[in-house]
Amino acid sequence: MDAERWWPPFVEVVAIVWIALFVVDVAVTFEVLVVSETVASTVRTVLQWLLVVFLLDVALLYRWSEKGPRAFVRANWFLILTVVPWFRPFRLLRIGRSIRALRLLTGSRRVGSFLNKVRGKCHSLWCRLRD
């Protein structure tokens, strides 16, 4: 499905916009940034509407997953938690977990050897492209 391909990057862009607007809203609240009441109200309204996008994100992921509700929640509890944009930075923890898993795999001789070969090929390709 075409939407399954463009939806995740769209949600990530919306998350960046949400974070930027949230920073603006906090700055306005603590009077670090002075804007008109209309602008402040518009920022708050956009923040609320962007939350709808995050809820729709989880609904679409559930629909595309072909799992039952319990299995989906069990498998994606972390994703569901990060629907609330305040928790979105916690998605970075997934990257850390992936790096740890990769480090464990490189300890294995076969996988480590394979990854070293891939790294060597990438390096030689990079050198050829640079010249």
Express each pLDDT in 38-85 by its tens digit: 999 999 999 889 888 888 988 898 899 888 888 988 888 777 776 766
Residues 96-118 have pLDDT tens digits of 555 555 555 555 555 556 666 66
**φ and ψ at 63, to 5 degrees?**
-60, -40
Which range marks the domain in which residue 125 is found? 94-131
Amino acid of residue 13: V
On the question of pLDDT at 13 being above 90, the answer is no
pLDDT, mean of residues 9-34: 86
66: left (phi over 0), alpha (psi -120 to 50) or beta: left
- Token representation of residue 3: 């939407």
Q: Give the per-residue pLDDT at 80.
A: 76
pTM of the model: 0.57
In a domain, 88, yes or no: no
Pair (48, 70) in one structural domain: yes
In a domain, 53, yes or no: yes
In a domain, 89, yes or no: no
Domains in the chain: how many in total?
2
CB 88 within 8 A of CB 19: yes
The SS3 assignment for 48 reads helix
- Token representation of residue 125: 């390709």
CA angle centred on 27, ends 12 and 93, rounded to 5°: 35
Whole-number Cα distances in Å, 67 to 57, 62, 72, 81, 122: 16, 7, 6, 18, 38
Q: Give the per-residue pLDDT at 41.
A: 95
- Token representation of residue 50: 């962007």
CB 41 within 8 A of CB 50: no
Pair (108, 75) in one structural domain: no
Cα dihedral sign, 83-85-89-90: negative
Q: Give the per-residue pLDDT at 105.
A: 53
Pair (42, 73) in one structural domain: yes
